[in-house]
Structure 1
Amino acid sequence: MTLKIAWCVAALAATLAACGGGGSTTSNSNGTGVTPSNAANVQSVTVSEGITGAANMLMTTVTVCAPNTSQCQTIDNVQVDTGSDGLRILAAALPSSVALPVVPAANAPITGACAIFGTGFTWGAVRRADVKIAGEVAANIPIQVIADPSTPSAPAGCTQSAGPMQTQGALRANGILGIGLFVTDCGAACANNALPGWYYGCTAGGACASTSQPIAQQIANPVGAFSSDNNGAAIMLPAIPATGSATVNGSLVFGIGTQANNGLGAATPLATIASGAYVTSVLNGNTNARTFFDSGSNGIFFADASLPQCGSWFCPASTQTFGLSLSGGDGASTKATTFQVASSQVLFSTFNFAFNDLAGPIGNVVDLGLPFFYGRSVYTAIEGRATPLGPGPYYAY
């Protein structure tokens, strides 16, 4: 696995108030959804007002247990993120009765983990847990406990890029469920090297130093650790109106081609470039080989100097339609589609929370955030795992 920065919550700090709109004590009653399923590999996901009223936050519920015990806590408002790998839960969401064992570092009694996202970092201890989602169980896997009191202050290698997301208010969630393309969050890069901004060996006295981390002790993608349905996942969300929706209900389906309910159908696989997280896009005549699908970003982000901006968002005078061509790193598949960009000011004035046409500026990458997922089934196939269309890593829709 190549070293990568997860863009899980790019522009997350921009909430409904970003362009003069604002969260409301009342909201539209309109909602959009799919028929709930009782299948063991299907988990409900929701976009709504959530914890802080931020737009396009895809949330679900996760149960965390001390390994091989009945000491469990069910945690809601956990953001579903295809742009990162591994479960990260706020310490404040875990009661003291759920005692998760610490994963020691090679050179210290505590492993501290840093995750750097688009708008901030999380820092905390690596602990083991049984993670239960729908009817699936990832047994005894390493997770990150954010703001774990056992860890000292975050080291400089973690804090220099962005601000802390160590509280519910800053994270705008109780945790992050990373269901991306990889089995662990860093892989061979961290197993073979002590990389700043990833894993640290920490002592109770407050000293932390970068350390290598064996893959078996790295923060694990729960999907890859399931006993079955472990080759990937799909986010299935309904189409929504151009002016948005107050609530959206969809499904997170585990496995690709492992059961009758998770086939790929007519989806086109887009293999990533050199086992990384990117595919290639052509947008506005510009080719960008750093394009990715990221349900944890609350907008579509790309560079376009011609579009007017209101704060962190685009706000064109009229809705604009963009053509987008995506191709896989193997050159074997290409898919063309379109998306729209509306005025953020108009969207936020509706006091809805789910928007399929919310977008903003970013440099160097094309971030296909949650607006791109509405009305689609988007698959993430895990690296090295067999699927009906070949092994991951790939995206498909």
Structure 2
Amino acid sequence: MNSIKSILILLGILIVGVNQVGCNGSTVGSKTLAASVYYPTALSGDNVIPMSVGACGVDGYANEPCISVTICTPGTSNCQTIDNILVDTGSYGLKIFKSLISVPLTQVDMGNGYGLASCTGYLDGSGHWGQVVKADVKLGNLSTATNNPSGISIVTLDSKYSNASGCSSSPDKDPSEAGFNGIIGVGSFVEDCSVGYAGANGCTLTATRKYWKCTAVSCSMTTVAAADQIANPVAKMPTGYDNGLVLKLPSVSSTGAGAAYGYMILGIGTDAYNSPTGVTVFPVENDATFVTRFNNRDYEYAFIDSGTNFNGFPRVGGNPALCSGSTDFFCPATETTITATMKSGSVTQAVSFKVGNMITLASATPYSMVYSNIAFNTADMGETGSPSDADVPFDWGLPFFLGRSVYVGIKGTSATINGQTVSGPHWAF
């Protein structure tokens, strides 16, 4: 999960607040929900999972992509399906709030009375805490149990579980605060600790703030074997469906939509609907990033992230205009076209997107829960706070996925793309 994600979730909740979403997701007073849009082709198959955007329950927020996930006690048919799980291509592994789980799951034992815990912290001081447990994970009609009979590691989120310091001062307490029932991280790596290390899994070598061994009263950072680290469930699916996935979403008009319905499909090159041709393939770095060139500057911390609900880029030279009283969102007088160039090795691709007036869009009637053209300012998120910093984030968020089929190739696997064998990690669209 990218470190700015929780900030964007909070901003997304503000959008919902402006729109006064009712408990039934339809109307409040005179406010009426805009029409929904659907992927133009109905798809089905064992590896096809329906996905919604902007329709993730009463605590959901704008541009939030969700699916349902089934978890089981390893090796049994004792299972539970949980909906409103955020689909996040910017993180790794399944995390579900413990209060929602009714099936028995066993915590990873670290010996001497210690159990394994996981910590994810964000720039605004929020984060996620939880026990690392073993479970079978089912997506569509496929299960991680096929190749992992003892289960894979997932996290049961519980802000009260650990009193360890050094991670997050205010972890999300419950689904209402988070805006979802859980997160499924389906990025381009197998475990969260394989990100950022060339040819090595960092958490097997060094104790970091990602993993902790805890008793009922204390916790300390720990190394952890790769087999016990939080795993990308897609990478643990049956052979042939474990090399990646594709997200398919419909286009949305400039005024938005009440909801958008599409698909998350497991595997690349297994069926007609996940075999890409005529797409651009972008290899990614060991930290899952690439370069985006914008306003004659190279921003090295660029990423594609379905879990960030809007596009984010640095405001340079006073454009686009910011919303009145805000340094966060853009509010140009008229819709503006932004063009930036993605770069990875010798591969370049210019991509254009629209930026509209956030206040106008969010206060419109009928109101929308899916937007292609709301964006936020990342100019002060670099090391020095200058928009010229190379490490200022360029976040290709959920709007990037609208109207596209976006493929995520997993490290250590290969797939046939454009008639050629391509090794992960990579993006293709």
- 1:244 paired to 2:250: no
- Which runs of no fewer than 5 residues in structure 2 stay unpaired? 146-150, 195-200, 382-391
Q: How does 1:164-313 map to 2 (within 5 A)?
A: 164-187=171-194, 188-196=201-209, 198-204=210-216, 206-228=217-239, 229-273=241-285, 275-305=286-316, 306=318, 307-310=320-323, 311=326, 312-313=328-329
CA separation of 1:348/1:16 partners in 2, compared to 1, >3 Å: closer, same or farther? farther
| 1:337 counterpart (351, 355, 359) | 351
C-alpha offsets along residues 160-210 of structure 1, whole Å, 9 cap, x if unaligned? 5xx3223112210000010001101113111111012x0000012x11000
Provide the alpha-carbon RMSD of the alignment. 1.9
Does the CA-based 8 Å contact 1:9-1:296 persist in structure 2? no
Q: Does structure 1 residue 71 correspond to structure 2 residue 71? A: no
Among candidates 156, 167, 171, match of residue 145 of structure 1: 156
- CA separation in 2, counterparts of 1:20 and 1:318? 23
Distance, in Å, in 2 between the alignment partners of 1:121 and 1:148 is 9
Cα 1:374–1:136, aligned 2, differ >3 Å: closer, same or farther? same
Structure 1 residues 327, 370: closer, same or farther in 2, change over 3 A?
same
In the alignment, is residue 36 of structure 1 matched against residue 42 of structure 2?
A: yes
Maintained 8 Å contact 2:94/2:231: yes
1:109 Cα deviation from its structure 2 partner? 2.5
CA contact (8 A) 2:55 2:259 kept: yes
Higher mean displacement: 46-55 or 81-90: 46-55
CA contact (8 A) 2:15 2:62 kept: no
Q: Which amino acid aligns with 1:166?
A: K
What do the CA deviations read for 1:62-101 (whole angstroms, capped 9, x no partner)?
A: 0011111121111000000000010000011112xx0001
Contact 1:19 1:344 in 2 (8 A): no
Decide whether the 8 Å contact of 1:12 with 1:298 is kept in 2: yes
Q: Assess if the C-alpha contact under 8 Å between 1:7 and 1:84 holds in 2.
A: no
Q: Given the superposition, is the C-alpha separation of residues 386 and 10 from structure 1 closer, same or farther in structure 2, using an over 3 Å criterion? A: farther
User: Structure 1 residues 112, 44: closer, same or farther in 2, change over 3 A?
Assistant: same
Contact persistence 1:108–1:201 (CA under 8 A): no
2:343 alignment partner in structure 1 = 327
Q: Distance in 1 between matches of 2:12 and 2:132?
A: 30
Distance 2:107 2:120 in 1: 18
Contact 1:65 1:131 in 2 (8 A): yes
> Which protein, 1 or 2, shows the higher relative CO under an 8 Å CA cutoff with sep ≥ 6?
1
| 1:334-383 CA distance string (max 9 Å, x none) | 11120011011111123200001110011311010001110011111111
Q: Write the distance in 2 (CA, Å) between the matches of 1:75 and 1:255.
A: 22
User: Structure 1 CA distance, aligned partners of 2:227 and 2:173?
Assistant: 25
- For 1:194, the aligned partner's letter is A
Q: Deviations over 1:87-122 (max 9, x none)?
A: 000011112xx0001112256531010123465311
Aligned partners of 1:7 and 1:296 also within 8 Å? no
- Kindly, what percent of the aligned residue pairs are identical? 32
Give the equivalent residue in structure 1 for 2:374: 358
Give the total of aligned pairs: 383
**Structure 2 counterparts to residues 123-162 of structure 1, below 5 A:** 123-139=129-145, 140-147=151-158, 151-153=161-163, 155-160=164-169
Distance (whole Å) between structure 2 residues aligned to residue 166 and residue 190 of structure 1: 26
Give the AA of the match of 2:398: L
TM-score (norm. length: structure 1): 0.92
Structure-2 change in CA distance of 1:107 and 1:378 (3 Å) = farther
Q: Which amino acid aligns with 1:21?
A: V
What residue is the counterpart of 1:374 in the other structure?
A: 402
SS class of match (1:21): helix
Tell whether the 8 Å contact from 2:268 to 2:274 is kept in structure 1 after alignment: yes
- What is the CA distance between 1:29 and its match in structure 2? 4.2
175-184 or 51-60, larger mean C-alpha shift: 51-60
Instruction: Answer yes or no: is 1:105 the counterpart of 2:110.
Output: yes
In the alignment, residue 251 of structure 2 is paired with which amino acid?
A: A
- Aligned partner of 1:396 in structure 2 is 428
Task: Please tell me the residue identity of whatever aligns with 2:329.
Answer: W
Q: Deviation digits for residues 110-153 of structure 1, max 9, x if unmatched?
A: 1010123465311000000010010111121100100076x333
Name the CA distance, whole Å, in 2 between partners of 1:359 and 1:152.
35
SS of 2:227 mapped into structure 1 = helix
Unmatched segments (≥5 aa) in structure 1: none
